[in-house]
Structure 1
């Protein structure tokens, strides 16, 4: 069974058509190559309420297994993706965000400034990635090897975890 995924880009300029989204398509392509179906992709502004509405809708109504966001994880006043995600999730999965930052730190000290989180809503996994295409590429390298296993566990698999 192929898992379904959504890619949500958070960018004020992108939502206005003033900046091309390069990170979102990069994430979508990586997911497709990994065997995911990607029926949902949107660019919306860095707006807490709008982010929360989309995350809840994509889980509760569309039933997506995975949502990956890009953008809005930094220190700027408009960067509210982690806060909106935290409001949407029921259980945090801190190891995912820790692994993304740790890997990013091997490439740039700025990785420590990302406030992205990851967590579960119902039977869906939501992961925040930075907005930079390079950081998204690196982050996908980190998370792709564990996504299928994580989603199987979220959905109740009792298969052994040992490799």
Structure 2
């Protein structure tokens, strides 16, 4: 079922979109996802333009119908950092636990972790997760939540056996609404 776990990775960077800065965060997140069994079917580098970001997120969910869209960049305090706003504009339900877990991990590393503005939510059957723009922070944040994302997608898509237990056959306690 590994290929059923489809993902898109979108890098948001004005400089990256103009070819003036090499994107290392997007490829790093792709590598992490592939290492966890995700099939990365789409990548893009876009400028920090809210309408373009919204259109890309909608296309990944409604058009490409990927299970997971991960963004990197545009989550800071700069006036052009609008990824969380674009995400919140297109999702139908928020998933606050995901950015909370990422912030908790970031705060273990630096007090600046409290300055993150990442969002996460659901559009249709697609989970959308914002990560920071720096490769190091993006890796740390995705790493904090990656072990839970497949289960989230399984619940979202109603795939059989979604709460049956772990591969080892033992049941886990679930802290979600089920």
Q: TM-score range by the shorter chain?
A: over 0.9
Tell me the TM-score normalised to structure 2 length.
0.89
Among residues 12, 15, 33, which one is paired with 2:14 in the alignment? 12
User: What is the RMSD computed on CA atoms of the aligned residues?
Assistant: 1.1
- What is the DSSP-based 3-state SS (H/G/I as helix, E as strand, rest coil) of the residue aligned with 1:112? helix
Aligned to 2:144: 142
Correspondence list, 1:75-94, <5 A? 75-94=77-96
Quick check: which has more Rg, 1 or 2? 2
Deviation at 1:110, TM superposition (A): 1.3
Residue-by-residue CA offset, 1:46-99 (whole Å, 9 max, x unaligned)? 000000000001110111100000000011000000000001100000000000
Aligned-residue offset at 1:160: 4.8
What TM-score do you get using the length of structure 1 for normalisation?
0.97
SS at match of 1:78: coil
Secondary structure of the equivalent of 1:106?
helix
* Deviation of the 1:109 alpha carbon: 1.2
Structure 1: stretches of 5+ with no match in the other structure: none
Q: 1:69 aligns with which of 68, 71, 74?
A: 71
Give SS of 2:45's match.
Answer: strand
What aligned pairs does 1:1-163 form with structure 2 within 5 A after superposition? 1-2=1-2, 3-157=5-159, 159-160=163-164, 163=172
